Each structure stands twice: as structure tokens, then as C-alpha cells.
Structure 1
Amino acid sequence: MNWLALRMLTGDKSKYLSLILSITFATLLMSQQVSIFMGVVERSASQIIDVRDADLWVMDSKVRYIDEAPFLPNNDLQRVRGVPGVEWAVRFHKSSATARLPDGNFRNVMLLGVDDATMVGSPRRMVLGELSDLNRANAVFIDKAGYEYMWPGEPFQLGREFHINDRRVVLMGICKASPPFTTLPILYSRFTEVERFFPTNRNLMNYVLAKAMPGQDPHQVCQAIEQQCGLMALTQDGFFW
């Protein structure tokens, strides 16, 4: 029977080859779609991946994904710091803004505000400049792809000036960052600079970045934060997925 089945399968060479090619092409398409899906997932969570310092993300209990997070009251930061098992916690800002270039053109950008004292959430792979340069007045960093988008065809140059919400900023560093889901330049700034960009906003903290104490289970610390503060707390892997 096996011999007869094999003869029936290969008896017509053209149909046999068409069948093999069809199966091969279908397999290729399925593998490609999985790769595309994983690429979209990684891009949508690129800012989560780039934060290497913290292992806990704390946010409003109704947040569905990283780009849709309401601002938290400033006292939530102190409440998270008071939860047993939390070693430290800092504030983190993420929003979109409009950058006005000296020639009058403008670009929408993704703005990330990191803690002034600890620099948790700041880029670690610098192309030009030093991390300490972010401490300078009006300083911002931009990702490499964002620089090429804002100043296409021009060599890397620090000291460029432009405006965000009519506030002067100075480009003090170019870094590498994971590509985001949208093709927006990524700007890094200190949290106090973000407060200067949006002076009328009372609350500018979307997230609290925290770290569990050594020996503590991060998942148990997340549960303690949720019970004590009424906020959503996730590990980095949990927030990614």
C-alpha cells in the first residue's frame, strides 16, 4: 500500500512538483507572518526594552499599553517608595511633543523624561556625547534614526538648537535606541526639563520605575504595590507581553 501511495503521489511529475512548491511557499509565508508579528510586538514595546535599570513598572490601573498612560499624582511616587520590598522608585515621563527647527520646519517627537538624580531610563548606548551631558541646562538627547530624520543627509553635530513648546533646547547627545512602533524621533530629557516644556500641567509622571530589594520576588512586590497603592504594577517581562 505504501508503494502504491508513493506511485500515486509521484506518478504525475508536474502535479507532484506543484504540490511540493505550494507547501514550501505556504510554510515560508507562515514563518514570515510570525516574524512580522514578533517585530511589531518588539517595536510597540521598544521603550520597555530600553529601560535596563528598573525591573518594575507602576502605572494607572487602567493602562492597556505603554503609549496610553494617564499622568499620576506626584504623591503616588512616595506611596510606591513606602511599599515593603521596594528598594527604590523614580518617576518617568512619556509623551509626544512638537519640535520646531530653526528653519521653521517642525517634527513630531516622542519625549521621554528621566529622573534627574538617578538617570534611570536614560539611554546607555551613546553614539556622540556623554550621559553626564544630559545634566546641562536645556539639554536633550536624540536617537540616531531620529537625528537622520530631523536633519537628513547632514553629519552628526552636537549643539544644535530648536524649540519644544516655545522652550529652547540644545542637542547634547546622540544615542542608539530600539526602533519604536511609530517613526518618530525619540528625545530624552531630564524630568525637570519636561516640567519646563509643559509648565501648565500639574502632573507629568506617567510611570513609576522601581526595583525590588535583593532576595525579593518581583511578582510578590508587584502584588504588594497593587494592594497598598491601588495601582497596576508589572515586571518588565510582564509589561512587555
Structure 2
Amino acid sequence: MLWIAIRMLTGDAQKFYGLLFGIAFSTLLITQQLTIFVNLIERGASGVYNAPEAEIWVMDPVSRTTDVSYAMPSTALDEVRSVPGVEWAVPHLRSAASVRTKEGDLEQVAIIGVDDATLIGLPQNLVEGSKQALQQPDTVIIDDGGLFNMFGPGADVMGERLELNDQRAVIRGVADSIPAFTSTAVLYTKYSRALNFVPGTRNRLSFVLVGVSDGLSAGEVAARIEEQTGLKAQTRDEFAEAGVDFIIENTGIPTNFGITVILGFVVGVAIVGLTFSLFIRDNIRQFGALKAIGLTNMKIVRMVAVQAGMVGAIGYALGVMSTAIFLWSFSGNPFFKGFYIPWQIPLISMGAVILILAITGWLALRSVLSTEPASVFR
């Protein structure tokens, strides 16, 4: 009987491919949009993960993320260093600025000042150049995404001169960094040099990056810092989560992507439901004949379940594979750098496909189960 169900399904090629398209399109839309959403909001934590050595981030109590912060007095650095359990503490400056290229174009950039001696705060890997190049006068290192946005793909920027606050800045390296939520270029330089590049208010220290002594946990030391200094101290994971939460709470991204995912589900129900109903209606006489020769309603349900399962499995596989191909084809674009498909998303898509097939299969089955076998012979 199950083989007959498959033959009935594939016998009408037009409706069979219509069902596959409906499931595959819904899976693609749901999986792709959820993948982009997750990877996009994770960009809110990029500033934290681009400074991998820091186990604790210390900041003013009103600061919320790496991009939404309030400067502290320079004395905060010494206060943090005096806390028991702090192995090391270094200054970290983050500020916005405008630069003028040699062509005269004005670009908005983010300036990040890293510790002069240890260079803690700089991304771990460089695409081009060396970290020690920061010891040379006027040196800055640009992130690879900013390189693409400011100069275009494949541009050779080594030695490129920029005008930054009436001062010369020379690019001598390209950092392999996690892209930020915005497309603003990031320039890394030494902390002392960054103070000259972005003059501002009396307080200039954005964060203090802290390492923890052996045998102590980051959470324990962070609590000591808060108790002793009155500043806010968060572990790497806590501060990264705060960056993600800030995007979710203060942008319309979750709503927009949520609407798209819901539309993908609705489109799947509409296409699959209509096509499945037409398939059942066109084969109602065959189902009636099967009931006439003794097939029970339970076996009819199994036949329809096999048909739905076959369509769902093939359509789901096509949808997930299409999402993977989409991400691979755009992997060279800096916007999609580091994008991946979390394992939870295919499971969510599978649940959506099962729900779509359950709804449409139940709607289609009602007419079959109510069919009288005698109607076939009228």
C-alpha cells in the first residue's frame, strides 16, 4: 500500500514538483532569514571577541556596549590594578572620528586605542602586516571589512596615508577581525597615539581590560572590582551578551526578520495546502476504490502520511542545501564574513516543515476519510 501511495504521488509530476517547491521555498526562507538574523545580532559582540585576551571588561556604570560607553578618568586604571586577583589591567579607548583619504574623500571611522606595551585589544590575527608595525610613528591598522568599504576589493593599502584630526596616519597592517554591526571602518593604533587622534573631553578612558590571576574565576574578580572601585565589571561572555541584547532591544531587526519567517511559514501552508488538496481531490476516486476493497481509514492515513513525509524530506533537504549554497556563494562579501548556520536553526526549520505538512495533510485527509466506497461505482 505504501508503494502505491508513492506511485500516486509521483504519478502527477506537476503537483509533485509543486509540493516540493512549496516545502523547499519555505525551508529556504525560514532557514536563511533565521541564519542572517542570528549572525547579524551576534555582530553586537564583535568588539568583545576582537580583544580575546581580556577576561573582564571594566567600564563606567552607565556604559552598555563597546559602542555605547561613557569615558572614565585615567585614575580608574590604577584603581582596577589595585584589586586583588587582577593579574594585569590595560587601558582601552574607543571613539568615532572622521578621516580624509588622499583622494579627498571624507570617511567615518572608529578609532581603537590598544595598550602601548602589550598591544592587548588588537585582533589576534592580521591579514597583512605585523602587530609590531604599531611601534612605528603614525601607524594604524585597518580592519579587513573597513578596507573593503573604504578602498574597494583587492586594494593595496599598505603605506596609504590618511588625514586624521590634522595629523598623518599611515596604514601599515590589515586586521582579520570579526565585522562590527555597522559597516564603519575600524582603525587600531596605540593608546597614546589614539589620544592625539581623537582629542575630546577631560576623561578619555573608555574601558579597562583585565586579566585574572590563576586559580580565580572571572566572575569572582569582577565582583571584587565592582565592590572596591564602584565601576561596572563584566566578564567577556556577559559583556558580549549585553551587546547582543542591546541590538535586540533597540532596533527593529527582530521584528523585521520575525515577519519574514512568519511569511515563509504562511506561504508554505498556502502553496502546500492548495497543491496537496488538489492532489487529494484528483485522486479521490482511487482512494475510494482502495476503501472499497477493504482498506481502513487508518491505512489511508498512513498512505497520506508517507506521501507527506516523502515530500517533506526532499523539500526540506533542498531548502537547507540552498541556504548553505547561498552562504557559500556570498562568503567573499565582507558583510557575510564568518556567517554560519547554527545547529538549532535546521531543527527549527524541520519543526516548521512538519507543522506545515501536519496542517495541510489534515485538511486534505478530511475529504478522503468522509468518502463512501460506493461513490466510486455510481
Same-fold status (TM-score > 0.5)? yes
Alpha carbons of 1:153 and 1:63: their partners in 2 closer, same or farther (altered >3 Å)? closer
What is the rounded CA distance, in whole Å, between the counterparts of 2:227 and 2:135 in structure 1? Answer: 36
Q: Contact 2:52/2:123 (CA < 8 Å) preserved in 1?
A: no
The answer to whether the 8 Å contact 2:57/2:236 transfers is yes
Unaligned runs of 5+ in 2: 242-378
| Whole-angstrom distance in 1 between the partners of 2:133 and 2:55 | 25
Could you state the TM-score of these two structures normalised by the residue count of structure 2? 0.57
Match of 2:186 in 1: 186
Deviation, 1:61, is 1.2
Give matches, 1:160-199, under 5 Å: 160-199=160-199
Give the TM-score normalised by the residue count of structure 1. Answer: 0.87
User: Quick one: which amino acid aligns to residue 56 of structure 2?
Assistant: L
**What per-residue deviation string (whole Å, max 9, x for no partner) do you get for residues 150-189 of structure 1?**
2225632422111111111111111211111111111101
Q: How big is the shift at 1:31?
A: 3.1
2:194 partner letter: V
Name the SS of the counterpart of 2:92 in structure 1.
Answer: strand
Which position in structure 2 is the counterpart of 1:147? 147
More strand by share: 1
Q: Which runs of 5+ in 1 are unaligned?
A: 1-5
Find the counterpart in structure 2 of residue 224 from structure 1.
224
Q: Which residue of 2 aligns with 1:102?
A: 102
What do residues 205-232 of structure 1 show as CA deviations (whole Å, max 9, x unaligned)? 1111001101101111111111111111
For residues 221 and 200 of structure 2, the distance between their equivalents in structure 1, rounded to whole angstroms, comes to 34
Give the Cα–Cα distance (whole angstroms) in 1 for the partners of residues 127 and 25 of structure 2: 41
Is the radius of gyration larger for structure 1 or structure 2? 2
Decide which moves more: 18-27 or 169-178. Answer: 18-27
Q: Please say if residues 58 and 208 of structure 2, whose CA atoms lie closer than 8 Å, have aligned partners that are also in contact.
A: yes
Which residue is 2:80 aligned to? 80
Aligned CA distance change for structure 1 residues 16 and 232 (closer, same or farther; 3 Å): farther
Range that drifts further, 86-95 or 118-127: 118-127
Identity of aligned residues (%): 36
Q: How far apart, in 2, do the equivalents of 1:202 and 1:137 lie?
A: 25
How far apart in 1 are the matches of 2:20 and 2:140?
56
Kindly tell me the number of residue pairs found equivalent between the two proteins.
237
Larger mean CA deviation between 225-234 and 25-34 belongs to 25-34
1:38 aligned to 2:58?
no
Amino acid at match of 1:101: T
The CA distance in 2 between the partners of 1:200 and 1:207, in whole Å, is 16
Instruction: Say if 2:95 and 2:198, in contact at 8 Å, map to a contact too.
Output: no
Deviation digits for residues 64-97 of structure 1 (CA, Å, limit 9, x no counterpart): 2221101011111111111111111111011211
- Please state whether the residue corresponding to 2:109 is helix, strand or coil: strand
**Structure 1: how far apart are the matches of 2:78 and 2:110?**
27
- Tell me the CA shift for residue 16 of structure 1: 9.5
> For residues 20 and 100 of structure 2, what CA distance do their matches in structure 1 show?
56
**SS of 1:36 mapped into structure 2:** helix
Partners of 2:191 and 2:86 in 1: how far apart?
21
Matching residue of 1:3: none
Alignment of 1:131 with 2:108, yes or no, is no
- How many angstroms apart in 2 are the aligned matches of 1:25 and 1:189? 47
Distance 2:116 2:148 in 1: 27
Deviation at 1:124, TM superposition (A): 2.4
Q: Quick check: 83-92 or 120-129, which moved more?
A: 120-129
Give the whole-Å Cα distance in 1 for the aligned partners of 2:233 and 2:142. Answer: 29
Change beyond 3 A, Cα 1:230–1:16: farther
* Counterpart-to-counterpart distance in 2, 1:31 and 1:152: 30
Whose helix proportion is higher, 1 or 2?
2
1:114 maps to 114
Equivalent residue number for residue 52 of structure 2: 52
Compute the displacement of 1:27 (Å). 4.7
Residue 123 of structure 1 deviates from its aligned partner by 2.4
Secondary structure at the aligned position of 2:149 is classed as helix
Question: Shift of the alpha carbon at 1:25?
Answer: 4.7
Name the CA distance, whole Å, in 2 between partners of 1:159 and 1:23.
Answer: 52
Change (3 A) 1:24 1:82: same
